[in-house]
Amino acid sequence: MERILIPIFTSHARSLSKAFHRADQGMSTNASPGAADDNDELIYDMVSLMRIYRSGRVERFEPFEFVPPSADPATGVESEDIVINPTTGISVRFYRPLSAAPIGRRRNLPILVYFHGGGFCVHRPSSAHYHNYLNILTGKANILAVSVDYRLAPEHPLPIAYDDSWEALQWVLGGGCGGEGDCDRVILAGDSAGGNIVHNLCMRLGSEGRKVEGMVLANPFFWGKERIGVEQGKAREGSILNISVLDQWWSILFPALAGLDDPRLNPVAEGAPSLANLGCGRVLICAGEKDLLVDRARIYCEKLRDSGWGGEVEITVAGGKDHGYFLEYPGSREAEAFLESFVSFCNKV
């Protein structure tokens, strides 16, 4: 069935002009039939995700509906939204299993802190595919889960998402869950851009001599200047992930980025901080065989093992699957296998 994408919201921000200037270099522009007027040129089109116009107008396309928090009888999980910073609007969606309803029974549960994907520019914890997945994961693993609603680029360019995510993590580690969950048994997880966030959070923890129990990187969004592995082959038809788009994307999302080998984007680049300092004890990585980013995940795993870090790392590559397969096709055999691995990882805490 064909999926129709409808622009769900539009914003306008004059502060995007610097990012536009950088993105404009070497990039063609086209008039957009959906623009506000004839002078509102489309300067960036991230297929199926976002369009940016020279005026500063941003259109986002959300293929999934937004859903409110609720009690979900199918999974036995309830959720609620909590604002943790009224000034910036940073919030989290908090999930708890109904089977552990009395607070005394919830104090010893592990806490999963989840960071959604979407290229740092789309999706929220309330996006239906994330909300449904966190319901299922929370119920199966019998854990508490906190899904972080960080601010999105380009209106809030990176490193704002990193800073918001760090603030949310400190809220969790500082007992923000109100006595629910064990703050000594925390796992960080994220997919795509969220996986990138998780890596950077664990590196920051490690630099401070702190650590969490583990991290899960699903289709992690790493990149770099030099083409590696499948990136050296011909473009993959039908995928939003292609080399030219990703190279240009970062100049818009992160105008202050120190090139494509900035360690926040390429953690294995020459001169990047040693992965030996990663602030967690266990790592689970998953990727799709057809994902353009698959070899970034593989080399990250190899470099982590060789770094002297000393923890446990496991990687699984789903045959025939592309970026975000476990969310796009949650009922597939490969997605079910990853879910079981995810649950097992959480239950080892």
Active site residues: 192
Q: Count helices and strands (H / E) in the chain.
A: 9, 14
Q: What are phi and psi of 70, to 5 degrees?
A: -170, 175
Asked if 124 and 164 count as a contact pair (C-beta separation under 8 A), the reply is no
Crossing angle of the two packed helices 160-173 and 193-207, in degrees rounded to 10: 60
Tokens of 165: 């995510």
Q: What sign for the dihedral angle of Cα 100, 101, 105, 107?
A: positive
Question: What are 190's strand-pairing partners?
Answer: 115, 217
Would you mind telling me the total number of residues written for the chain in this entry? 349
Nearest to 174 by CA among 188, 186, 191, 162: 186
Question: What are 264's strand-pairing partners?
Answer: none
Q: In angstroms, rounded to a whole number, what is the distance separating the alpha carbons of residues 289 and 316?
A: 10
Asked if 108 and 182 count as a contact pair (C-beta separation under 8 A), the reply is yes
Cβ neighbors of 31 (< 8 A, separation 6 or more) are 38, 41, 42
Question: What are 94's strand-pairing partners?
Answer: 80, 146
Helix (H) or strand (E) holding 278: none
Q: In angstroms, rounded to a whole number, what is the distance separating the alpha carbons of residues 207 and 294?
A: 27
